[in-house]
Amino acid sequence: MAVAPKPARAQNRTAAELGRKIIEAGLDTAECYRVRDLEITHDEARIYLTDGYLMFGKPVNGVPLTAVFSADNDGGDAEVLLLPPDRSERRSMAAYTGAPNLNEHFSEAAFIFTDGTAQSLLEQVRAAETKKAPDVGAIMKERWNSVVTNLLEGFESRVVLDLLTPGPRRGFFEAVIQGKKLGNFDIIYDARAYEQLIAGQVSNRKNGTWWDTWSSFVSRGNKGRPSPRPEMQILSYQIDASLDSALSLHCVTKMKIRVSEDARNVIPVDLSGQMRALTAKVDGVPAEMYQRESLRSGLVQNTGNELLLVLPATPLEPGSEHEVEIVHEGKVILDAGREVYFVSARGSWYPNRGLQFAKFDVTYRYPKTLDLVAAGQVREDRVEGETRITRRIPDGPVRLLGFNLGQYQRKELERNGITIEVCANKQLEDALRPRSVEVPAAVMASEPGRQRRRPGVNGQDMVAPAPLPVPSPVNQLTRLAAHVESATEFYRSRFGEPPVKRIEVSPVPGRFGQGFAGMIYLPTVNYVAPANPSAGPVRDLTFFRDLLLAHEVGHQWWGNIVASGSYHHEWLMEALANYSAVMYLENSPVSGASSEKGGEKKMGSKAIETALELYRQQLFLKGPDGETAESEGPVVQGRRLESSNNPNASTAVLYGKGTWIIHMLRRRMGDERFLKMLAELRKRYEWKVLDTESFRAICAEFMPPGAPDAKLEAFFDQWVYGTGVPALKLTFSVKGKPGAYKLTGTLTQSEVPDDFSIPVPVEIQTARGKSVVQVVRTSSEPVQFTVNVASPTAKAVLDPGWSVLRR
């Protein structure tokens, strides 16, 4: 392109002006109407304003963006209908509202819209020659004006974006409805979203505030269309990140992008709400930049992501490549005390849009007293005055780039071309200084008889089992580094070479981990040595910490090479990383006793059983709604399961049931085929996104010839797309005479719907140590089977190989 850059003074302030107009618009008393039988339709969602008053907001660019409705009059009424299109969404709706379809009367509602809703409502109002009611308008304005302005503020950048890039399939509609039975809830239709129709509610409970997604789906009018894609492809990043002594991060981020039609006039990016964008340039020419007012003025403390708009001085040709430079700063690094720091906005401290694989080149400038942990090869490392400058280039494309800073002691290992560096804080942060370490309630529950031996703490779920020795995180370095190294070796020999040739591990305060490409965040609790590693709950605690570490290493493959698309498929990455970790521990020496005894006794099936048993128990823990975590919804509901009904359901189902699902698939395929499948999965989906159906298809390819349910359709229907775990009971007797004994068994299934049916292995063991496996398919009625056996002492054992999840 040979367009001369416009002089800076000619640069307009379109977006800023628009943003101001949007917020200042307010409701219009002159545009209040006495309405009957108006209808707002967005595919499966219908809103009927049967009888009441409708008042519009003052128009912006000629069209109102808001309206409020009140049925606070004699005979006033309104109704909303939303019919979810499939069984699982109807089930989800019912779990929150008590009915599979939403059908609710309401008396008040506020609407925000940038799609055709305003035009449609105004046409209906005009066609019916509706009377104006300015006196009611004045009363309604008093009640609603600030509510509508507050609502708009939350959508400010999005409204600006839609007004600057008009067109079909870009706008949104949001209704905040005061239901007569269900309280306040929202109906959203968003043309840019992956699922356009969403119904849900902010729910305040004793245990906190939750956004409950009642239902979310691709709406009728969007069925069969490709999913909306980000407005531009991000090809590469070049970031210059400077951290000052007050831990404020100042970044100059340059992104190479290829734009689509949707980014012709505006380039939208997401950035942590803790970051403020200062200036932007497109191809070196200053560009207008827009971030919503409340953020710019620092009025809100926002920990989520915010939409930032960059307006190039001249429109960009679709398909062309450009460099966008954004200068941004903010306090994304938090201080946990005793020089323990962590990056709070992992993955959103730089501008991003959708999760895209891109190349990175990052130069970090930071106080020379601190150490840096980051992804990528070190290309430059020097000290200038008080500042240390380190340039890092990650191997291969990366979806999320993380880093961390602290005062570290490091342990470096190198094996077969991969360098592993584990960092430990020199001191333990304040939060971990108490005299004891906590054990999750679930671990306690898994120890038989443990309840009685609990120290005298009433009603507390987190318990201190053992006093700690001197808590120096550094003591754990060697052990942790060895684990990371052997887990890496274990995976690379099974899932192929990782693209990263360097993996750094950084401590983060708290109890969570995260695995980015070449960079793992490990919770600082993992750096605390248990006093007596072979004792009871502490042994399990050590096991689950090791599992977490191996899980994060597993994400180098599952999550960073093979990735998941929408939230429906996220369970795949968690379950695959977690099951990989279970397999790693299965092949690891027994914990605690390994080095002294020098023995190579492997954990073997004990590792599988310890993990699966804990997950099984977590699935049956009940939430505030009295239902078990498992029954809240299937794995494909993903993060939506983290709701007020049962906040723990998401973890229990995504990780726990997900791990069980992978394990059951392994049992169906057999070990050899299962490992081949995983290797092929990595090969076929390298730098691609994997969805649940594609995963089913690849698993089906590796099923043994002649296996029942060869396409795994019944398996996925029952375990992946459905809920329900059966209770199974096996009884048997042996009758007959020498040479003609028969074992007759009965397998009874309960606690699942009548159509639930699964193949269950039953092992027939005879006294001579020979055993055969009989596969019995369950049904709503007890199922009988008969086997010829050689001895009257033969036994039938239900699923000794843990191949079926059951109560």
Question: Which residues 6+ apart lie within 8 Å of 191 measured at CB?
Answer: 115, 168, 169, 170, 171, 172, 228
Q: How many residues bind Zn ion (CB under 5 A)?
A: 1
524-583 residues in contact with Zn ion (CB under 5 A) are: 574
Instruction: Tell me which residue of 802, 793, 714, 799 sits closest to 761, measured CA to CA.
Output: 799
Q: How far is the CB of 573 from Zn ion (least distance, A)?
A: 7
Of residues 28 and 642, the one with the C-beta less far from Zn ion = 642
In the complex, what is the shortest distance from the CB of residue 577 to Zn ion, in angstroms, rounded to a whole number? 5
In the complex, the smallest distance separating the C-beta of residue 567 from Zn ion, rounded to whole angstroms, is 14
What single DSSP character describes residue 738? T
Q: Which is nearer to Zn ion, 93 or 581 (CB)?
A: 581
Cα–Cα distances (Å) from 599 to 226, 489, 589, 610, in that order, read 56, 20, 8, 21
Closest distance of CB 557 from Zn ion, Å:
12
Report H helices in 685-737: 692-701, 713-715
**Closest alpha carbon to 580 in 553, 613, 546:** 553
To Zn ion, the closest distance from the beta carbon of 639 in angstroms equals 13
Closest separation in Å from C-beta 507 to Zn ion: 17
CB of 447 to Zn ion, least distance (A): 25
Find all residues with CB under 8 Å of 598, minimum gap 6, and list them: none
Burial 543-561 (b: 16+ CB within 10 A, else e): bbbbbbbbbbbbbbbbbbb
Question: For residue 436, what are the β-bridge partners?
Answer: 467
Q: For residue 378, which phi and psi values (nearest 5 degrees)?
A: -80, 115
CB of 665 to Zn ion, least distance (A): 19
**Structure tokens that stand for 396 in this block:** 């291969």
Residue whose CB is less far from Zn ion, 577 or 743 = 577
Phi and psi torsions of 223, nearest 5°: -60, 135
For Zn ion, give the closer residue by CB, 517 or 703: 517
Closest to Zn ion by CB, 476 or 514:
514
Minimum CB distance to Zn ion smaller for 106 or for 521: 521
Q: Which two tokens mark 519?
A: 């960079």
Tokens of 576: 């695959």
Distance between CA 656 and CA 436 in Å, rounded? 27
Q: How far apart are CA 84 and CA 103, in angstroms?
A: 11
The residues pairing with 307 across neighbouring beta strands, listed in sequence order, are 270
**What whole-number distance in Å separates Cα of residue 728 and Cα of residue 726?**
6
Least distance (Å) between residue 121 CB and Zn ion: 46
By beta-carbon proximity to Zn ion, the closer residue of 555 and 616 is 555
Q: Is the Cβ of residue 114 or residue 580 nearer to Zn ion in the bound state?
A: 580
If the CB atoms of residues 44 and 574 are measured against Zn ion, the closer one turns out to be: 574
Type of residue found at 760: V
Residue with smaller CB distance to Zn ion, 213 or 514:
514
**Interaction pattern, residues 572-591, with Zn ion; x per rule: CB under 5 A:** --x-----------------
- Considering the complex, what minimum distance in angstroms separates the CB of residue 554 from Zn ion? 8
Nearer to Zn ion, 521 or 756 (CB): 521
> Strand order in 359-367's β-sheet?
267-272, 305-311, 285-290, 275-282, 321-330, 249-259, 232-243, 359-367, 387-393, 377-384
Least distance (Å) between residue 555 CB and Zn ion: 6
Q: Closer CB to Zn ion, residue 32 or residue 548?
A: 548
- 471 vs 638, which CB is nearer to Zn ion? 638
- For the bound state, the minimum distance from the C-beta of residue 514 to Zn ion, rounded and expressed in Å, comes to 7
Phi-psi label, residue 129: left if phi above 0, alpha if psi -120 to 50, beta otherwise: left
Interface with Zn ion in residues 417-476 (CB under 5 A): none
- Other CB atoms within 10 Å distance of the CB of residue 129: 6
Cα 752 to Cα 129, 324, 596, 748, distances in angstroms: 57, 55, 48, 11
Neighbours of 466 (CB within 10 A): 17
CA-nearest of 644, 571, 635, 582 to 607 is 582
Cβ proximity to Zn ion, 262 vs 574, nearer residue: 574
Angstrom distances, CA of residue 152 to CA of 22, 26, 158, 170: 8, 10, 10, 17
Rounded to the nearest whole angstrom, what is the least distance from the CB of residue 552 to Zn ion in the complex? Answer: 7
Between CA 236 and CA 487 the distance in angstroms is 30
Residue 748 structure tokens:
């009874």
CB of 545 to Zn ion, least distance (A): 14
What distance in Å separates the CA atoms of residue 183 and residue 179, rounded to the nearest whole number?
5
* Cβ distance to Zn ion smaller for residue 156 or 574: 574
Q: Mind giving me the DSSP string for 603-619?
A: -THHHHHHHHHHHHHHH
Residues near Zn ion, by CB under 5 A: 574
